Structure 1
Amino acid sequence: MLSALSGEPISTVRTATSPTRLSDVLDLAAGDSAGVTTIDSDGSRRRETWLSFRGRVRRIAEDIRASGIGRGRIAVVAATEPSEILALFWAGVVAGVEPLLVAEELLDERGGDGEWLAALSHQAPVHALLHAGDAQFPVVAAAARWGLTPVALDLGPGDGRDGPDRADDGPDSRIHFMTSGSTGAPKVVPQRHRGIIDMALGAVAVNGLDSATVGFNWMPLSHVGGMLMAHVRDAVIAAEHISAAPARVLADPGEWFRLVSEHRVSAVWSPNFAYRMLASAAEQIPADGRIDLSSIRFCLNGGEAVSAKDCARFERSLGRLGMPRGTFAPAWGMAETCSGVLYSPRYDPASDTSPTVSVGFPLPGVEVRIVAAADVEEDGVGHLEVRGSMVLERYLVGGDLAKSTDGWFRTGDLARIADDGVHFVGRDGTRIVANGVTWNSADLESEAEQVDGVVPGTCAVTSFRPRGAERDSVAVFCAVDGNASEVRAEVGRRLEKIIGVPVAQVVDVPPSAIERTSIGKVRKGRLVRRFIDPAPRQLWTLDWVPTASPGAPRLGGAGQPPVVLRGAGLAHSAVAEHTPGELHDVLQRWRREVEPARLRGRDVCVVIETYEANSDRLPRSHPVAAFLRATAHGAGARSVRTIWVHPAVDEQALDGVLGGEHTPDADLFLGPHGDLWRRVRTPVAIDRSGPRADHFVILGGTGRLGEALGAELALRGARVTLVGSRTQPGEDRGDGISRVTADITSSAAVRGLVRTAGWDPRERTQVVHLAGAPTPAPQDVVERLIGPKTDGVREAAGLAHALDAHLAVVSSVNAHVAGTGVETYAAACAAAETTAERVALVPTTVVSVTSVSEARQTDRTTVALGEALGLDEVSVMDIATCLLAEPARSVLLGVGEHMPLIPPRDSEPTPPPDTGPTSATGPAEPELSPTAAHLAKALRPLLGADSARLDTSWFHMGLTSADLPNFARTVTQHTGQKVGVLELMRYPTLAELADYVEGSRKRSSE
């Protein structure tokens, strides 16, 4: 331990009459004449005395009890407006329910279709979702699907009568918060009522607040700062409290000044970035007396790093409007400590010469200490640890609780203790070290925003370590209004003069690209990954390597020879090809001829006759083979391989390969000289050193994926033209992206694109082909699926040739994986890739991607199946990075290291699974728990004679994606617990699924 500080004993603020439950706090507040005011995003206001508010809350609490939610059950609060959040929060507290507050972006369209709720329901015992009766959030409809009870509540005054004088909470009841996620994945933090109240009692004592206080909060009430550090604090002292929707102030900072002046607010709080924004707004307000800030006595600055310069500017700017000096109180806290537990009241920013701002001393009942950190060389700087009743006991979801046996919690911050209290050195991007000096990023951001042309409130300064470098570099991100190159250069010069080292990158980004947490913290790591070091996931290519001649014969599953599929359409040459209609007819013929029942549990070999003597000339995939592979996997085949055979090979040699011992699912090539080759997966490195394209012409780009990819490429500084059939000619959305209507299967239209795309021979152009919907209607499968991926690719190659451009065909791994998508879609993707290789008049790359998160065209269950098989969902950032690098070889993107249905790495062949029969009454059976044995019994009909094994995944036991829905229904019927495909993905073995089922039963009985 390097140093330590302790606050006064908790007994100095907690007495025998102090509340221990939050319902007691509400009762105390109701004994005074003060009230609570809410201002929603539409401007509607509501003021009630605490007494009237309690009466309404009690009535809502009675409705919650009537819904059947038991005491101590966790319920998500689905609300975004202050009036609704406060009513639902307090009603849940009084009813004995434990509210879980979630950020607004999870409830509106940004939260998608409720996947976060699905994940939460499987990781935590969340039982209900509380919402206003007229709420339209997507998660309300999704709640029941994930096992939560949606409870619609009337939040109005009802019949005017109060609910019963009853409260079901206790000192150990909890409120649950999600952490911001600014430095990693969000966690769910439960905090006990008693700890929350201890924090509030200490905060009002240290900062001199009392019942005469008028508190104002405009930060999200879903955040620990807004709810506990502001609202509950004011309730503890029965003070007047005002909460406004954040959007009101963010859209019009003048709203903050009007409310403070109108309500004579005395206590405010904001993170540092907001004080900087408000200072800018104050400088535009005339000092004519209409705005009077003389009532302010307490300005809490917390939630992110504090800048002395920003505080001084705020004090100076608002002083013009009457705000007294000496009101600032830098503070520190986190969800894990019930918000602020360190305060520095009456801070004077004008006289502070320290490189970091002190956040003061611990509240009563709180201890802090600095513990040596191995990777920190600065004197006195180490890990900050904190202890006290406000510190969480455990995470509900996520997080590795770094808490010692004697109660010390390691916060993840680096700090030092000086005479004036605790100074934070930084955490994850807030600490900039240059020439041995540590700089606060907030101070540097404030300096950068003084440069003319930098848009206020958009600057983010962070450090990052370039690949292969031994030390960190400094990067600045900001939005520029003016000459971008001049502004960037001036920002770099200004900061270099301060820190003494060159700024590696100054990046001009649009404000929309600066992602923030719910209280405004910039997600700096994402900016670095997006604009400076956008390395995509692992890229793979497929190569042929010589392999040994066939060994001893291997039986094709259950003592049977392999099923061989060969015939119509299974041929390849450099000149032969199918029209879309011909390919469709061939696929329909195979659909009629293949009997799925004949393939189940068998080894399947798809044989292609190829007129290529060299393996290097073979395409990566074949449309008919892709169709048959998908069909075989969907039917439950034991393994599927594709064998390319030259016509010179005799049948006896082919029989030797068909019956030989080879890696299951391996693609093989039997050459004209008896040579045998095996296809393997090889990692590909991205080379970002070469010149990148300036102009991207995206064909089929007006769908969801095209729009998202175009926006990402435009953010990276490229000119983008989207071509498709869903837009009007010349449509301008003000985003700098050109949109052109054209039929990409028409030669005349493609020729016209040379003119309408605005080709500039001085630019490096890249044509990107995306066309083709994955799930077309049955009647237009040729026009909307196969045609755009064959004729469309040919026309795209012609356009690239005319523009002297690189051609990139964005295909799908369905062309190679087979079994994770529609059979015809797999064939169409393979046809697109084959066509691209045949018409390579220009440099061509095929990028085979998995599901794309920003433009998902499959349901969550299909995505989960892919993830279970080793296919990672990718982002448009990954695809954009790959396209900008122009890899010289065709690649696979989103394929995991051990994805079993794609050829393995040459150095790490995947061993064949153990398929030996196991007796149903063998020695493994007694080791199964009763639940696992019950599940094994349900599984055996799906596996035939094979017995289920405890720690073997469903796929290695022989199940396929097509089996999982039926298996899920069977498990639900046998156990009485709701189990779906997602549960089978999360718990992929008998042991794990049995534990989940037993845990669900236990939670249901509580």
Structure 2
Amino acid sequence: MQGLMMQQPLLVASLLVHADRHHGDQEIVSRRVEGDIHRYRYRDLAQRARRMANGLTALGIQPGERVGTLAWNGYRHMELYFAVSGSGSVLHTLNPRLHVDQLAYIIEHAEDRVVFFDLTFLPLIESVAPRVKSPKLFVAMTDRAHMPRAHGLSGTLMCYEDLIELHSDAFDWPLLDENSASSLCYTSGTTGNPKGVLYSHRSTLLHTYAAALPDSLNCSARDVILPVVPMFHVNAWGLPYIACMVGAKLVFPGPALDGKSLYELIETEQVTLSAGVPTVWQGLLSHVAERAGTFSSMRRTVIGGAPCPTAMTTQFQERYDVDVLHAWGMTELSPVGTVCSFKAHQRALSGEERYAIQAKQGRSVFGIDMKIVGSDGDELPWDGNAAGDLLVRGPWVARQYFGGDDVPPLRDGWFPTGDIAKIDADGFMQITDRSKDVIKSGGEWISSADIENVACLHPDVTMAVCIAARHPKWDERPLLLVVRKPASSLTERQLLDFLDGRIAKWWKPDAVIFVEEIPLGATGKVLKHRLRDRYGSYYL
């Protein structure tokens, strides 16, 4: 016997319809590329998104065709999130931090019909346009007064606000198949060409539900959310969708991601929750410390994209009373997979024990199942000691890549993350390495992530990265590369002495190299392959 419940498809546009109907007065604040602050409400967002949907139809964009965006976090980008996906086309967010060759490859591979871009990226668009066969239509996300007078594009250049003004807001969102594609995001391409991950309306809505839960990102209508994590990569971790679902106020930072600009926005708009990668938060914390500031409203920050050093967690929580939610995910997971949210019994643990838990990537949100397997493929125990390949599955996990050029990645229905991890008895997962980054010394495994976390506890260390360097006797040995804090005179011997007693003696790196900066990829992740290429023969 079947249930007697209504059948309504899970569609991205329904989030906007809900926000318009139930939270129409809620504010959306954006720092614009033009330099000013823009304010409007969810009902304005909904109206302009409908206008843009009519504009896309007038441009001849068909259901299923890809529409590219090269833009910062802002209200116009938000409008495209719904206008494109809601009308049946596919939103393709482009990462401006990628190399121009990779951008050209992605645009061509996705067969984008049109690309919308913020004015910041006009030079990038001018460089990419001659390298691609399509699109030949580009839309500058600005008004007529700020349109560039001259440009080197080989195609038609249109004005975003003109496109909005030309069309009516009378638009009925179509009743789409919930399994149809809604958006497309390519991996960061740290090795080889980036791969496209094609999200569906259904997977996006389910991810939004799960990520908003109390034990996930814990979002509500009482929140003021600042997504620092970019809308051009994995949908800003789903926060624009979550805000519509719960009715939270949204604050968009635009292109100004330095510590001073973010702090001013946080304080002025009374932000309660923000999300970003560790490198961004390092800049924010440095600014606040320099001016002896405090956070008057922010009480939670989500940190992901790279492991969060315990020193950063400690500073946020003990000095500024801002709880840290350490999270983990991937482009292929839409992206949220785990969040480090305490269980009830863990609240009674000592501070040191709680920090040890917070160093982990956390436990699965509902919808994500995970396991670790050994080299023989057999599942390993959840005892906090056994480490193996991390596999995941769930309704918002990719089963194959867009374009069908590659062999489907799944292993017996599970997605291989490429991470080496441990899982404890409470279900908390901790990544010990990427499978390609793990160090094998004298036949034994060494966790580079553990060494990095301990090194970052030193007060004079801004960033630390540990790589495997080839060794004549042990095959590989750990090599530590460190960025010191300004004016620090920290020496190699002092840092190695600091590691004594904090990691296994045989794990201790044989050398420390102080560097001015660490190479970061398009999503803020450390490019260890570059460091291995440069320093991998250091001990030979």
Question: In structure 2, the residue corresponding to 1:30 is in which secondary structure?
Answer: helix
Given the alignment of the two structures, is residue 87 of structure 1 paired with residue 79 of structure 2, yes or no? yes
Counterpart-to-counterpart distance in 2, 1:286 and 1:483: 19
Once the two structures are superposed, the pairs formed by residues 738-749 of structure 1 within 5 Å of their partners are none
Report deviation, 1:201: 0.5
Counterpart in 2 of 1:338?
Answer: 334
Letter in 2 for 1:73: E
Q: Does 1:424 align with 2:426?
A: no
- The answer for the alignment partner of 1:147 in structure 2 is 133
1:164 and 2:156 aligned:
no
Quick one: distance in 2 between partners of 1:335 and 1:446?
A: 27
**1:362 equivalent in structure 2:** 364
Q: Does 1:491 align with 2:495?
A: yes
For residue 268 of structure 1, give the secondary structure of its aligned residue in structure 2.
Answer: strand
Which residue identity does 2:465 align to in structure 1? V
Q: Do residues 22 (structure 1) and 31 (structure 2) align?
A: no
Find the counterpart in structure 1 of residue 530 from structure 2.
Answer: 526
Which of 209, 214, 217 is 1:201 aligned to? 209
Deviations 1:772-794 (A, max 9, x none): xxxxxxxxxxxxxxxxxxxxxxx
Give the Å deviation of 1:365.
2.4
Please give the per-residue CA displacement for 1:318-370, whole angstroms capped at 9, x wherever unaligned: 13xxx4xxx33222211111111212225876533648833333222222222
Conserved? CA contact 2:69–2:91, under 8 Å: yes
2:250 maps to what in 1? 241
**Aligned pair 1:96/2:88, yes or no?**
yes
Partners of 2:310 and 2:36 in 1: how far apart?
36
Task: Tell me the amino acid that sits aligned with residue 284 of structure 2.
Answer: L
8 A contact 1:30–1:238 mirrored in 2: no
Q: CA deviation at 1:122?
A: 5.3
Deviation readout 1:160-196 (Å, 9 max, x if unpaired): 9752223345422231112233466532211112111
Q: Under a length normalisation based on structure 1, what TM-score does the superposition of the two structures give?
A: 0.45
Number of the residue aligned with 1:409 = 415
Secondary structure at the counterpart of residue 291 of structure 2 = coil
Unaligned 5+ segments in structure 1 are: 1-10, 535-687, 690-1006
User: Which has the higher relative contact order, 1 or 2, with Cα contacts under 8 A spaced 6 or more apart?
Assistant: 2
Change in Cα spacing, 1:336 to 1:442, as seen in structure 2 (3 Å) is same
Name the CA shift for 1:78/1:274 in 2 (closer, same or farther; >3 Å).
Answer: closer
* 1:230 pairs with 2:234: no
Amino acid at match of 2:261: E
Distance 1:386 1:426, change over 3 A: same
313, 316, 319: which one pairs with 2:318? 316
Describe the SS at the equivalent of 1:474.
strand
The equivalent position to 2:399 in structure 1, one of 393, 416, 424, is: 393
Distance in structure 2 (CA, Å) of the matches to 1:19 and 1:35: 28
Write the distance in 2 (CA, Å) between the matches of 1:159 and 1:74. 23
Q: Which residue number in structure 2 is paired with residue 780 of structure 1?
A: none
| Residue 516 in structure 1 maps to residue 481 in structure 2 | no
Deviation at 1:523, TM superposition (A): 0.8
CA distance in 1, matches of 2:290, 2:119: 42
**What is the alpha-carbon distance in structure 1 between the residues aligned to residue 159 and residue 486 of structure 2?**
51
For residues 18 and 233 of structure 1, what CA distance do their matches in structure 2 show?
19
Amino acid at match of 1:101: T
Structure 2 equivalent of residue 839 of structure 1: none
Larger Rg: 1 or 2?
1
**CA–CA distance in structure 2, aligned partners of residues 485 and 311 of structure 1:** 24
Q: Which residue of 2 aligns with 1:174?
A: 182
The aligned amino acid for 1:174 is S
Aligned to 1:305: 307
Unaligned runs of 5+ in 2: 140-157
Q: 1:440 to 1:363 in 2, by over 3 A?
A: same
Q: 1:313 to 1:55 in 2, by over 3 A?
A: same
> Per-residue displacement from partner, 1:539-561 (whole Å, max 9, x unpaired)?
xxxxxxxxxxxxxxxxxxxxxxx
In structure 1, the partner of 2:228 is: 218
After superposition, the C-alpha distances for 1:255-275 in whole angstroms (9 at most, x for unaligned) are: 333322222222212223444
Paired with 1:193 and 1:442, the residues of 2 have a C-alpha distance of 39
SS in 2 for 1:365: coil
Contact 2:338 2:364 in 1 (8 A): yes
Counterpart position of 1:592: none
Note if contact 1:308-1:357 (Cα within 8 Å) is conserved in structure 2: yes
Counterpart in the other structure of 1:980? none
Q: 1:430 to 1:164 in 2, by over 3 A?
A: farther
Q: Which residue of 2 aligns with 1:270?
A: 276
- Taking a change above 3 Å as real, the CA distance of residues 373 and 483 of structure 1, as seen in their structure-2 partners, is same
> How has the CA–CA distance of structure 1 residues 99 and 140 changed in structure 2, closer, same or farther, with 3 Å as cutoff?
farther
Does residue 1:328 correspond to 2:324, yes or no? yes
Q: 1:217 and 1:430, CA in 2 relative to 1: closer, same or farther beyond 3 A?
A: farther
Match of 1:187 among 192, 195, 204: 195
TM-score when normalising by structure 2: 0.80
Superposed CA offset, 1:384-409 (max 9, x none): 2111111113212676542135x321
Shift of 1:479: 3.8
Contact 1:177-1:190 within 8 A present in 2 as well:
yes
Which residue does 1:800 correspond to in 2? none
Counterpart position of 1:381: 387
Contact 2:253 2:265 in 1 (8 A): no
- 1:222 counterpart letter in structure 2: F
Q: Which residue of 2 aligns with 1:58?
A: 50
Q: Residues 302 and 353 of structure 1: is their aligned pair in 2 closer, same or farther, counting only changes over 3 Å?
A: closer
Per the alignment, do residues 370 and 248 of structure 1 end up closer, same or farther by CA in structure 2, a change over 3 Å counting?
same
CA gap of 1:408–1:256, structure 2 versus 1, over 3 A, is same
* AA partner of residue 139 (structure 1): I
Cα distance in 1, alignment partners of residues 34 and 435 from structure 2 = 36
Determine the C-alpha separation between the residues in 2 that align with 1:411 and 1:442.
21
Q: Is the 8 A contact 2:456 2:464 kept in 1?
A: no
Closer/same/farther in 2, CA of residues 43 and 519 from structure 1, 3 Å limit: farther
Task: Kindly provide the amino acid, as one letter, of the partner of residue 397 in structure 2.
Answer: V
CA contact (8 A) 1:305 1:442 kept: no
| Counterpart in the other structure of 1:284 | 290
Question: Letter of the aligned partner of 2:434 in structure 1?
Answer: R
Give the Cα separation in 1 of the matches to 2:18 and 2:97.
34
- Specify which of 454, 465, 473 is matched with residue 444 of structure 1: 454
Q: Distance in 2 between matches of 1:213 and 1:359?
A: 24
Q: 2-side partners of 1:219 and 1:134: how far apart? A: 18
Between the aligned partners of 2:353 and 2:276, the Cα distance in structure 1 is 21
Q: CA deviation at 1:415?
A: 1.8
Contact 2:326 2:340 in 1 (8 A): yes
CA displacement at 1:16 relative to structure 2: 5.9
Letter paired with 1:265: V
Q: CA deviation at 1:527?
A: 1.7
Structure 1 residues 428 and 371, CA gap change in structure 2 (3 angstroms)? closer
Displacement of 1:234 after TM fit?
1.3
Greater displacement, 152-161 / 79-88: 152-161
Distance 2:49 2:30 in 1: 15
Instruction: Say what the alpha-carbon RMSD is for the aligned residues.
Output: 3.6
Deviation at 1:509, TM superposition (A): 2.5
Residues 132 and 481 of structure 1: CA distance in aligned 2, closer, same or farther (over 3 Å): closer
Residue 218 of structure 1 and its aligned partner are, at CA, apart by 1.4
- 2-structure distance, mates of 1:495, 1:488: 11
d(CA) in 1 for partners of 2:289 and 2:440? 32
Deviates further, 295-304 or 24-33: 295-304
SS in 2 for 1:404: coil
How far 1:20 moved relative to its partner? 1.0
Whichever residue aligns with residue 505 of structure 1, its letter is A
Q: Per-residue CA shift, 1:950-991, capped at 9, x if unaligned?
A: xxxxxxxxxxxxxxxxxxxxxxxxxxxxxxxxxxxxxxxxxx
